[in-house]
Amino acid sequence: MTRPGFWDNSDSAQSVVSQLSALKSIIGPVEELTCEVKDLAELFDMASAESDKEELAQLEDDLGSLIKRCEQIELQGLLCRADDAKNCFFSIHAGAGGTESCDWVNMLLRMYGRYFETEKYKAEELDMVPGEEAGIRSVTLKVSGPFAFGKLSCEMGVHRLVRISPFDSNKRRHTSFAAVDVVPETEDIDIEIKEEDLKIDYYRAGGAGGQHVNKVSSAVRIVHIPTGISVQCQNDRSQHRNKAEAMKMLKSRLYMLEQQKRDTELAKVYGNKGEIAWGNQIRSYVLQPYQMVKDHRTDYQTGNTDAVLNGDIEGFIESYLRYRVKNKKKEPEVKTGKKDKD
């Protein structure tokens, strides 16, 4: 970063800054905890020599706090895959349930938005398709921050909601489904994409956003004809930047599709991920007739549904990280050559 001209290429510079931030998030807590453990040991020796019961009691409390922080560092060590430290593209899609599921996507977007704030992640909306009557049909975000992909990859799959419908005048109980997709942002994927395999459409961005929304076709949709994979971006006023971001998403999805061929367990998550409906859910959010959120992979559950829907999902992520390591679940890793080795 101290080399002359480092900041001339903003994209390259930002990538290095992100790597630095990720490394500091690993090393910093370990160094800090190591110093505190050393200091605590010295204070314990002094308090023991003087038989200072009050100081020993305080040290016992301090030890409990250090143990909790040590557990957090241990958890960080579970994020050890090649892609875990990377930013990611995060999508939510409505499934079976019509308007109910579109509203469920809106609820999930709010839940994850609160979680992003807690983790200090930056979430940039790339594309959003509103529901026909209410809610959101689909939304795609670019999430940036240390270990964004590693943590959010734990959320991939179908999420099921059971509640009394606010859209049903008879107040009946309804079940809704939505799917979460997560792919790592990858810079150096060596994938050849032929121009004739692409269908590129330019259209006017929807929603509020200034005069360019109505007058300029800045939004971009790219369809990869051989696979049927479709990506779109309407975040920027620049058609060129929207196309570049869409191509980046397409390359990431194509690479993950290739990896998927060697991992049948993820076939329901990426690309043709199966029906977003009953039987495929990874987690259930039950608000009626009782209140419970349960992860069906790990059996981790809580009755505090309000906290979960307000972004308190760290417990689910932690339990799945431990489950993934314990079961040695193989998931695809993106190998991007020399940069990752460095």
* Domain chopping of the chain, boundaries: 6-76, 88-187+263-341, 195-260
pLDDT score, position 226: 86
Sorted by sequence, the CB contacts under 8 Å of residue 89 that are 6+ apart come out as: 126, 140, 141, 142, 143, 182, 183, 184, 185, 249, 252
According to DSSP, the β-strands at 136-144 and 157-164 are unpaired
Rounded Cα distance, 295 and 317, in Å: 10
Q: For 195-227, what is each residue's pLDDT tens digit?
A: 888 888 888 766 544 444 445 678 888 998 888
Q: Would you place residue 298 in the very low, low, confident or very high pLDDT band (cuts 50, 70, 90)?
A: very high
- The DSSP code sequence of 132-147 is SSSSEEEEEEEEESTT
pLDDT score, position 197: 87
Token pair listed for 254: 């194509």
pLDDT score, position 259: 62
Sorted by sequence, the CB contacts under 8 Å of residue 309 that are 6+ apart come out as: 107, 110, 111, 285
According to DSSP, the β-strands at 173-184 and 292-295 are unpaired
Q: pLDDT over 70 for what percent of the chain?
A: 85
H or E stretch at 157: strand 157-164
Are domains 88-187+263-341 and 195-260 of this chain identical in fold?
A: no
Which residue, 323, 329, 326, 330, is CA-closest to 298?
A: 323
Coil, helix or strand for 169? Answer: coil
Domain covering 195-260, topology: Double Stranded RNA Binding Domain (3.30.160)
Rounded Cα distance, 63 and 75, in Å: 18
Rounded Cα distance, 86 and 96, in Å: 31
- The CATH number given to 88-187+263-341 is 3.30.70.1660
pLDDT score, position 134: 87
pLDDT score, position 340: 38
Q: Would you place residue 240 in the very low, low, confident or very high pLDDT band (cuts 50, 70, 90)?
A: confident
Reported as half-sphere exposure (CB side, CA atoms, 13 A), residue 186 has a value of: 24
Say what angle helices 10-50 and 53-76 make with each other, to 10 degrees: 150
Output the average pLDDT for the chain. Answer: 83
pLDDT score, position 188: 59
Rounded Cα distance, 247 and 39, in Å: 52
**Residue 158 dihedral angles phi and psi, to the nearest 5°:** -95, 130
Tell me the helices (H) and strands (E) count for the chain, helix number first: 9, 11
Q: For 119-134, what is each residue's pLDDT tens digit?
A: 999 999 988 888 888 8
**Are 214 and 113 contacting, i.e. CB atoms less than 8 angstroms apart?**
no
* More confident site: 57 or 214: 57
pLDDT score, position 86: 87
pLDDT score, position 341: 38
Which residue, 113, 92, 106, is CA-closest to 156?
A: 92
